[in-house]
Structure 1
Amino acid sequence: DDYFNFLAQNDGATIDEAYFYVKDIEEYIMFELFYDIEECIETYEEFSDDFPDKSLVIGRDPGGGMLLLVTEDVGNFSKGIHFYDHSHFFEASNSDCNTYFVCDTFSEFITILEHTTLP
């Protein structure tokens, strides 16, 4: 619900100098933007075969990595925010493993963006 409220109020947003940390790959990632509704749909249609079921693509980093909102536990993916390393930019990523859990909720992700600084 928190993401859908954000989307209804903002219909996307560009983010300046905000970072989040992905524990599984031990990397800080710069976040660039939250997609508007049209971009959510277009990007999902293009990459849906790569995404877990019950997920929405909601944004991206400057390098093309995408942010997913998984709406319920599905297979190996728990409900929450996940980072999808589309281009296998990070060494840990490959075709079998390139989607990583970030946090439980969209609101928590916003808090992370607001408070994360690079070491």
Structure 2
Amino acid sequence: MPKPPRLCSCGAIVPHGVLCACQQARQLERKRRYDRTRPTASQRGYNGEWRKLRAEFLRLHPTCAFCGADAEHVDHKVRHRGNKALLLNWNNLQSLCAHCHVSTKQRMERAADNAACEKC
């Protein structure tokens, strides 16, 4: 049985699991504010050296490490957080498809963050 629609804070009735237009607008603005404060890709270390390494890694590892689909992203197994040694470490890289990069990997990182937070 499908879940019933819900009432948004703006008064609109929206289907279960769907964002209201006002919620979408707030979410978009929140992301824009975050992007304005975020360092550029080159400031985070993704320079020409990284682009060459990335292209070579994708050439040698063309499929997703999780699902086997065509890979589009080169991901760091351990987040580098500005550490150039981790950023450019070949053994710290894995090829991922777009779906696994934005869903599976992010879910794994959130779970690891939550587990680390519970230890505090």
TM-score interval w.r.t. the shorter chain?
Answer: 0.3 to 0.5
* Larger relative contact order (CA 8 Å, sep ≥ 6): 1
Higher-Rg structure is 2
Higher strand share: 1
Q: When the two structures are superposed, what TM-score results if normalisation uses the length of structure 2?
A: 0.33
Higher helix share: 2
Q: When the two structures are superposed, what TM-score results if normalisation uses the length of structure 1?
A: 0.33
